[in-house]
Chain A
Amino acid sequence: MTARAKVVEKPVMGIAEALADVPDGATVLVGGFGGAGSPIELVHALIDQGARDLTVVNNNAGNGDVGLAALIRERRVRKMICSFPRSANPKAFTELYLKGEIELEVVPQGTLAERIRAGGAGIPAFYTPASVGTPLAEGKEVRTFDGRDYVMEHWIRADYALVKAETADRAGNLLYNMSARNFGPVMCMAAQTTVVQVRNVLEPGAIDPEAVVTPGIFVDRIVQVANPAQEELLFAEGAVYP
């Protein structure tokens, strides 16, 4: 290693610029568990950007009239892949679903996380005991290992991941805030293009390498949102986007 060697730096971009190339029909991983870790500003920028016919992967399916719920209400989502399409106010999703105007793939939460992790780790399929003997295992391969049945599940790989973290350095290394971490680290791994919104952007070296949660190799674009909205608080205010 020469003294001149430097780590790769990731572009810090404007929010519109960071999502400008999302095409219609893209598969998009959206971080968050309810409002914790929900990248509201990125999702609103995606609404502004106009891409349609999206397949969206998130633990839930939106709450109220902001964020993912607003994206769904604006009919940009063809299919939701999630574990729990309910919330305090899931009406945006529920209304379209009951009319047959949005597809739903319900996945056990741990299977969802592992499918995304597998996508990022280059593992096309794996076996899990979750859902064996239930309607969610119908049509899937079941194999017995050491006397117990497991169902085969496939990886999820996406075109984009939209993830909220707390702090990035310019190398793309990420720190999260408490339980807002949830799906962020695995989603960063599983997309062709990972866009993170962070409160703070620091110089390389400002984050202790021992403390890095998501290494920068999994991050492609950084957007600084210094004062991010919190979905629950927007919901409580009755906020509507756009």
Chain B
Amino acid sequence: MSTETVTRLSRAQMAWRAAQDIADGTYANLGIGIPEQVAQFVPEGRQVTYHTENGVLGFGERPPQGEEDYDLVNAGKKPVTLLPGASFFHHADSFAMIRGGHIDVAILGAFQVAPNGDLANWRAGDDAVPAVGGAMDLVVGAKSVWVITSHVTRTGEHKLIERCTYPLTGVGVVSRIFTDVAVIHVQDGRFVLKEMVPGMTIERLQEMTGAPLVTEGEVGTLSPPTVG
């Protein structure tokens, strides 16, 4: 399928768009990769506390080069800094925060998402070494689970599909999907199209999507500023 005439969002722009949806007063857990970038783009004035499953609430930016301390890292094992009001806790408490429903939103990547909210994001086949990390706990525990992903794979295959074919991370967990061409809400077993990039048509987006897209009211324009 050809998409030459539409502009796709950069990774940073996808993170920017997800960041706009983070409400004031949120406790958020951001997955490794694009979701980590969301923190850079949350609108000023909103209070957001970031949780990392290895036992920190209230961490901030990466430290300046030369000031890294590898005893203070995020889930991606990257050095971070602390904001005033930060706290440390052990792993069982950290996952009590997650499973106990104290984290408002978790943002993750995906291999596949289905309209029933099923997510596959930990294993794409049987060949590699399986590694799950904290994803299965996050998706069942966070109050909302959002996904940031390219709309299709590099080879053009569907990632938003009727039924996940890869091993599941969680069942019926995803509520919003931010792709490089669209914003889709997962509601009542359907993909509800909320926004798409300029130049995109619903027909063309449907071709790029492996399950029916429905609309409820007007479809907005997905047009982030140049960021990142």
Contacts and interface: CB of A to CB of B under 8 A. Distances in A.
Contacts of B168: 133-135
Interface stretch (B86-94, B154-162, B216-224): B86-94
Interface stretch (B13-21, B34-42, B70-78): B70-78
Interface in A81-137: 83-87, 90, 93-94, 97-98, 104, 106-114, 116-117, 128-136
B136 A177 contact: no
Given A36-B73, A86-B129, A109-B137, A179 B54 contact: yes
Contacts of B170: 132-134
Contacts of A179: 52, 54-56, 71-73, 88
A130 B137 contact: yes
B136 A131 contact: yes
Contacts of A64: none
Given A93-B129, A134-B169, A110 B90 contact: no
B91 to A, nearest CB: 4
A67 interface: no
Contact of B77 (A36, A114, A117, A177): A36
B171 to A, nearest CB: 4
B53 interface: yes
Interface string A203-242: 0000000000100000000000000001111000000000
B167 interface: yes
A113 B131 contact: no
Contacts of B92: 113-114, 116-117, 185-186
Contacts of A104: 129-130
Contact of A84 (B69, B123, B131, B167): B131
Contacts of A62: none
A232 B72 CA distance: 12
Contacts of A177: 71
Interface-central residue, A35, A108, A114, A181, by most chain B CB under 10 Å: A108
Interface-central residue, B98, B99, B137, B170, by most chain A CB under 10 Å: B137
Contacts of A37: 71
Interface of B: 52-56, 69-73, 77, 88-92, 94-95, 98-99, 123, 129-137, 140-141, 167-171
- Closest CB pairs A-B (n = 7): A110-B95, A110-B137, A133-B171, A113-B91, A109-B134, A108-B136, A34-B77
12 contacts: A33-B77, A83-B132, A84-B133, A106-B132, A108-B137, A113-B92, A129-B140, A135-B167, A176-B88, A178-B69, A179-B56, A182-B90
